Amino acid sequence: MNKQNTLTLVESLLIDYASGSLPLALEVLVESHISMNPSSARSIRMLLQIGGALMENSDPISMSEGSFERLMDEIDGGQQDEEIAKSDVSNDNDKLPLPLRNFVSEATFPKNWRRIGIGLSEQTVDFGDEFGNAKLYRIAPGCGVPSHSHDGNEVSLVLAGGFTDEYGSYGPGDISIQETGAVHKPVADADGECIVLAVNEGPIVLTGPVGRLLNMLIK
């Protein structure tokens, strides 16, 4: 998979959002992306307008309560410009994208983060549904997530900083999509901490000799 394929998958994700077919975790991820990415915000507005015209005589498709209102608030009234979108997530949850704030525990409290490796911490995000799992990751500058594959698709949104893997480089507001079976090792940029929201349909499987040993121990 290359960056071009990822862009195509992101476009499909936006279409699924506009149709109201995403689970809440991915819905909030997309809304957060839209709040950080003016281009995608314009695309979503167009998709919603087209969808409204096409489905005028169809049965309505329900979305989570308040999702459309949150989206319109972000696009019309509270859309962040590119300079703000590139700023770091601060010690205040008010700096998180608006759609995500109510689901995340205080980002500054150490007790809300679990260290899972050198320069790597995670925080589970509970969206109250049964779809896969969602986590926030903090990756120290220059550190990486161990090489792993996915039992199910993974959709990740960069909230601050940036990372590079085998498929491309991603900065604030960018979405990375790894399909089932894809193997990658994200490494944070050297100039700052990377914070990522990742939604996985299934478990992560560590690869390589050490990873396979850890997988056996975990089981």
Identify the CATH number of the domain in which residue 37 sits.
1.10.10
Do residues 136 and 179 share a domain? yes
Last residue of one domain, picked from the residues 19, 52, 84: 84
Instruction: Please tell me whether the overall predicted TM-score, pTM, comes out greater than 0.85 for this model.
Output: no
- Domain of residue 114 covers 105-218
Domain membership of residue 95 (yes or no) is no
Domain membership of residue 207 (yes or no) is yes
Return the CATH number at 167: 2.60.120.10
93 three-class SS: helix
Domain membership of residue 100 (yes or no) is no
Domain membership of residue 93 (yes or no) is no
Do residues 31 and 119 share a domain? no
Do residues 12 and 77 share a domain? yes
So what's the pLDDT on residue 36?
Answer: 92
φ, ψ dihedrals at 212, nearest 5°: -65, -35
pLDDT by position in tens, the chain (length 219):
555 565 688 889 988 988 889 999 999 999 999 999 988 888 888 877 765 545 555 555 555 555 555 555 555 544 444 443 333 444 456 668 989 988 987 666 667 899 988 999 999 999 987 788 999 999 999 999 989 888 889 999 999 999 999 889 999 999 999 988 889 999 999 999 999 999 999 888 888 655 444 444 334
- Pick from 199, 40, 12, 16: which is nearest to 124 by CA? 199
Alpha-carbon dihedral sign for residues 177, 169, 193, 33: negative
Do residues 62 and 155 share a domain? no
Burial class of residue 92 in the structure, from the number of CB atoms within 10 Å of its CB (0-12 exposed, 13-18 middle, 19+ buried): exposed
Last residue of one domain, picked from the residues 84, 118, 134: 84
Domain membership of residue 92 (yes or no) is no
Do residues 207 and 112 share a domain? yes
Domain membership of residue 90 (yes or no) is no
Do residues 30 and 75 share a domain? yes
So what's the pLDDT on residue 93?
Answer: 63
Number of domains in the chain: 2
Contact between 195 and 160 (Cβ < 8 Å):
yes
So what's the pLDDT on residue 131?
Answer: 83
Do residues 28 and 127 share a domain? no
Do residues 114 and 80 share a domain? no
Do residues 66 and 162 share a domain? no
Domain membership of residue 164 (yes or no) is yes
Do residues 20 and 76 share a domain? yes
Do residues 43 and 109 share a domain? no
Tally of residues, the chain:
219
Contact between 175 and 124 (Cβ < 8 Å):
no
Do residues 135 and 190 share a domain? yes
Neighbours of 161 (CB within 10 A): 24
Last residue of one domain, picked from the residues 84, 118, 140: 84
Domain membership of residue 96 (yes or no) is no
